[in-house]
Amino acid sequence: MKTKNLRGTADPYRNLVNASDRAVIAWTDLSGVARTSVADQRCLQHGLESARILRRPVKYQHRRNYEGYYWCSGSGESVWYESMTEYSALMHLDHTLNLIKVAAQPLCILFTDGTRHYPDYFALHESGRQVLYDVRPAELVDEKAEIQFAKTREVCAKIGWGYEVLHGLTGMPRHNLEWLAGYRHPYIDLGLQMRTRILDEASEPSPLAQLAVALDSTHPVRFLPGIYHLLWRRDLTYDPSRPLGWHTIVERRKRG
């Protein structure tokens, strides 16, 4: 019988014991130094958004989940994911929030009861808010996971971090967002003058086809990438629950 090819990053903190009466955060900083800290407000100053990946899952033949790197338009960097649920969650965060930096598998929380937890992502938002994320399909959130998430939420509250559990995207919202994500790169941007013209033409709700024709009646597809880019940036809005196409009603985002 053949032996599986197991490859992964060993837990560098597997022998670390929390002897404190408070939760402890353990991570590896940007320079590769292993660090620990009591879970209090001092953790806000540790730059966890730049933490190295703490561990990776074991690799073996015939794995059912996929891993890779997602290029985050908010940070301009590639972020590792270990499942398609994490991929869609990252894409959703990148689309809906102004992210400055994101770290994958950034830290280990050693709780006072002797258990530990490795959250999936840590993000620094443009507002300065620091948020820890766990990603798990809703159908896989059992009682054990709920208890773990509750303990993590309590630790984050003591530090001053936000905390969210993401379930990823499915169905039409995911299909539409995957399409728009192909136009998230800055080189798609048509420049200030053209952006302004597109947004002016979309000041009132109209079908995407009508907007495209208004921009160029001879070659309506000419500025379509720019429209998709503005939809990705949420400068233009649409209904993500319905298929994206020529009939899609788009409108300039109302800010206030």
Q: What local confidence, expressed as pLDDT, does residue 55 receive?
A: 76
Q: State mean pLDDT over 223-246.
A: 97
Rg (CA), the chain: 21
Fold annotation for 184-252: Arc Repressor Mutant, subunit A (1.10.10)
Banded model confidence at residue 209, pLDDT cuts 50, 70, 90: very high
Distance between CA atoms of residues 139 and 120, nearest Å: 18
Q: Long-range contacts for 152-158 (Cβ within 8 Å, ≥24 apart)?
A: 152/109, 152/117, 152/119, 155/23, 155/25, 155/39, 155/109, 155/111, 156/132, 158/23, 158/39, 158/40, 158/41
| Residue 239 reports pLDDT greater than 80 | yes
Read off the tokens for 251. Answer: 């409108």
E strand or H helix at 123? strand 121-125
Q: What local confidence, expressed as pLDDT, does residue 160 receive?
A: 97
- What residues does each domain of the chain span? 24-55+67-166, 184-252
Q: What percent of the chain stands above pLDDT 90? A: 84
Q: What local confidence, expressed as pLDDT, does residue 54 receive?
A: 87
Q: What is the pLDDT of residues 212-231, one digit of tens each?
A: 999 999 999 999 999 999 99
Given this structure, which CATH class describes domain 24-55+67-166? alpha beta
| Residue 11 reports pLDDT greater than 90 | no
Give the helix ranges, DSSP H, for the chain: 84-96, 143-159, 171-181, 192-201, 208-215, 224-232
Mean pLDDT of the chain: 90
Q: What is the pLDDT of residues 43-54, one digit of tens each?
A: 999 999 999 998
Read off the tokens for 187. Answer: 């080189």
Give the helix ranges, DSSP H, for 16-170: 84-96, 143-159
| Residue 237 reports pLDDT greater than 80 | yes
